[in-house]
Amino acid sequence: MSAASLARRLPGRRAFITGGGSGLGLALATHLAADGWTLGLIDREAPRLLEARTLLLARGAREVHTWTADVTDEALFAAALNAFAHASGGLEVMINNAGVAVAGSVATAPIADWRWALEINVIGVAIGCRHALPLMQRGKAGLVINIASAAAFAAGPGMAAYNASKAAVVALTETLAAEHGDDGIHALAAMPGFFPTRLLDTMRAPPEALGFARRMMERSDHTAERVAAEILHAAAAGRLHVVIPKGYARLWLFKRLAPARFVRWMAQQRARATQRRGG
């Protein structure tokens, strides 16, 4: 199992996960719990954290520590991370999973929505990385998993702020890998496509964009648990990027080989989808 492979590399088995109360964050935590990890979770909703803690202890977690806070609050986030490392004796894995979605074109998306998305999706990840690094450097080993999205490269029309924020997460992860690889710290940028999650609960979007995202999630044959397993497998293998599922991985290759052609193709696909809905 991928969590077990990680444990062999990082025998302290201590992981801190943002947005850990539900969705992909909880799915990642559940996989680690089954292999006896000590877990720290941060989420904005206390009831979710309480339910998650009960579940994870039942699934085999050694200990589960929780904090109710927003990842954009650096003081609270850093305090939680340091408290976890102090209570558990260190930190091996930091998973920056918390994020939000927003729809809107470059010309029409409110700047307030841009600030909201970038503050949570990018600055929140940067805070997690910044404060996890010293803790990992003390142990001379660590793993940072940053959850981006296939939107980082498949920059579809009408999702400007979200696309930009997730592309920034990939760039941030690559920079971290370049700066701290010699410290024994491995970084992974995960770029999943659509799969059922609670991301749409807070999405800022017109009804048609929200409906499109919901339909794409419903069509996915991936669950949060399956996506989590593939992310952990990629982390155990030492990869820098993972794109999930394979269909999106082919799109990523298309984008890298023929970027201009890919952008035109994406615009055509969105136009066709709009025409079908209009019909």
The active-site residue out of 37, 77, 153, 162 is 162
Domain count, the chain: 1
275 inside domain: no
Question: Does 4 score more than 80 pLDDT?
Answer: no
- State the burial class of residue 107 (Cβ atoms within 10 Å of its Cβ: 0-12, 13-18, 19+): exposed
**Boundaries of domain holding 131:** 2-253
209 inside domain: yes
Question: Does 93 score more than 90 pLDDT?
Answer: yes
Please write the tens of the pLDDT for every residue from 25-45: 999 999 999 999 999 999 999
Please write the tens of the pLDDT for every residue from 210-247: 777 777 777 878 899 999 999 999 999 999 999 999 88
263 inside domain: no
182 inside domain: yes
Question: What's the pLDDT at 14?
Answer: 98
159 inside domain: yes
161 inside domain: yes
Catalytic, 248? Answer no
Angstrom distance (rounded) from CA 243 to CA 235: 12
277 inside domain: no
Please tell me what DSSP assigns to residue 204: B
SS3 264: helix
Please write the tens of the pLDDT for every residue from 52-66: 999 999 999 999 999
CATH for 91? 3.40.50.720
Contacting residues for 272 by C-beta, under 8 A, at least 6 apart: none
Question: Does 2 score more than 80 pLDDT?
Answer: no
Question: What's the pLDDT at 279?
Answer: 45
261 inside domain: no
Closest CA to 91 of 175, 182, 17: 17
Angstrom distance (rounded) from CA 63 to CA 56: 9
**Mean pLDDT across the stretch 61-90?**
98
Question: What's the pLDDT at 153?
Answer: 94
At 274, the pLDDT band (50, 70, 90 cuts) reads: low
